[in-house]
Amino acid sequence: MTRTWNKGWMGACVALLGAACGDAPMASDSTAQALSSPGDIEVVNTDKDGTPTFIRGRLGQLTPHLAARGTPDALRTVASVFGLSAEELTVRSSRADDQGATHVRYDQTHHGVRVIGGELVVHVDSTGQVYAANGSARGAREPSTLMRLPLSAVKHAALEGMEQLVVRGEPRFVYFLEAGGTLASAYEVTRVGVRDGDPARDLVYVDAASGRVLDVRPQIHAGMNRRVHSANGSWMTPGTLRRTEGAGPTWDGHIDQNYDHIGTTYQCFETVFGRDSFDDRGAAITSTVHYGDGYVNAYWDGTQIVFGDGDGFSSGELGLDLDVVSHEIAHAVTQYESGLVYRSESGALNESLSDMVAAICESWSRGGALDADVWKIGEDIWTPHVNGDALRYMDSPTRDGSSRDYYPERYTGSSDNGGVHWNSGIPNLVFKLLVTGGPHPRGKTATWVNGIGMNRAAQTFYFAATNYFTATTTMSQAKAYTIQAAQDRYDASVVSAVRDAWNAAGVP
């Protein structure tokens, strides 16, 4: 139980807070005030321990231009529902959407120090009325000890078992929000190097008292100012600059086609979503091709996109495929928006959003096509000697032999960063069904989805991903957020279709 809710949290036994709930204890003063009128606040989604993660209702006034300073009463009310004080929230960003609403992201702090895993998004309509709030922030108990290990021991703990990695920079003191609402004193350590033959850059959170690794968050996920480089077969990036924005062809096919695909992706984001590069501020998009020797992969490393030449058997040159290019740039967009942690369900959503962008941009580049190739990922470069196959299949995820398409059958082990690629098949299928309609391809559920077309499906997921998703969003939460996004933008038929699409894939 959390600091505030230990007197007043009424659990998940009712949908509307403020209503009777069996023998639930009385709320604390701040919580009781926030929930004083029955039906004022609806709990849409809760964490496993019953703490709210998504609420909506009439939550008070918060003038958008004041959202980034001061502590309006509405912010105090919202914070109290999550067991916080308004002073524990620091504005990270504020975004106005095309419906006239403003979405303000807050980081949770404790004694002025960042709480990793705690964030809150407050949603304000055009009249200044707060109509929803969601996130992982919560009131938390103090760390059980003030003891801190020497920084040398912290660095050693972050590198244990990682022979090809080194620590970059000095560890940064933070608090880490653990399951159950406990704060741990911790250090954030950046480690870089090579893991399993691929470049690695991780944020590692080490318990300051025990040296226990609390979490590892990979930053490399396996931008129209274009700068295309060649690594010339080396393992160094960015390499030699070969083509800049507006320059003529180099007559190196990998460089020139990669340049063109970056341009197509940029134009797709600009036309479909009104977005200016991956940071929405016109950032230069840096790319490196001819990376490594027979390297069968592509990735966004936090600052640029990188493409191997493939081995000629498993894949060809990866930068030649629009799917691969748009997929990697979408990782950059996610980094600048929700920052979905690249692990377990949030990591699967991260991967899936990139696959969705690949489908969106391929369809857009071909005049709105919705044929079989739109739902294949990497079909232009995957196994060049095999016709018609692909790396992943959004319309039938299990076809690749490893991806899942039904939530109760999701992968729950530790491989693939907790199944980030394999479990991405579940939201991939949700998106495909939402676009075209239809049933689960293997008949796992009896739900029939009425398709709403590519544009409305794309807008719904993009709106949710940029305005509702947080770093640790789960699939259940993504379901709630995309339903809310549909409600924000469209009529009841679209809201029902979004709900049905998630239901078809068995997401609770």
How many residues in the chain? 508
Per the omega criterion (within 30 degrees of 0), is the bond before 238 cis? yes
Burial class (CB in 10 A: 0-12, 13-18, 19+), 438: middle
> Tokens 């699967």 sit at which residue?
348
User: One-letter amino acid identity for 490?
Assistant: Y
Buried residues in 386-407 as b, exposed as e (16+ CB within 10 A): eeeebbbbbbbbbbbeebbbbb
Paired sense of beta strands 305-308 and 284-291, if any: parallel
Q: What is the DSSP letter of 430?
A: H
Answer yes or no: 328 catalytic. Answer: yes
Q: Is 178 a catalytic residue?
A: no
Which amino acid type is present at position 281? R
Q: What angle do CA 364, 99, 461 make, to 5 degrees?
A: 45
| Contact of 33 with 77, CB cutoff 8 Å | yes
Among the listed residues 261, 331, 421, 440, the single catalytic one is 421
Contacts of 2 (CB under 8 A, 6+ apart): 9, 51, 83, 138, 139, 140, 141, 181
In sequence order, which residues have a C-beta less than 8 Å from that of residue 260 and are 6 or more positions away? none
Find where tokens 């949710």 sit: 464
Residues paired with 114 in a beta bridge: 109
Alpha helices in 241-288 (DSSP H): 253-268
The active-site residue, picked from 119, 328, 337, 379, is 328
Nearest-angstrom CA–CA distance, 319 and 96: 34
Give the CA distances from residue 244 to residues 11, 225, 292, 322, 352, in Å, rounded to whole numbers and listed in that order: 57, 8, 22, 19, 30
- Angle made by CA atoms 487, 491, 494, in degrees to the nearest 5: 80
Q: For 450, list phi and psi in degrees, rounded to 5.
A: -90, 115
The residue assigned the tokens 């850059």 is 201
Measure the CA angle with vertex 419, ends 497 and 437; round to 5°: 20
> 118: which 2 tokens?
């705690």
Of 462, 126, 477, give the one whose Cα is nearest residue 280: 462
Question: Please, which residues bridge with residue 326 across strands?
Answer: none
Contact 217, 203 (CB under 8 A): yes
Q: Cα 180 vs. chain centroid, distance in angstroms?
A: 22
Residues ≥6 apart with Cβ < 8 Å to 395: 372, 375, 429, 432, 436, 441
- Residues labelled catalytic: 328, 421
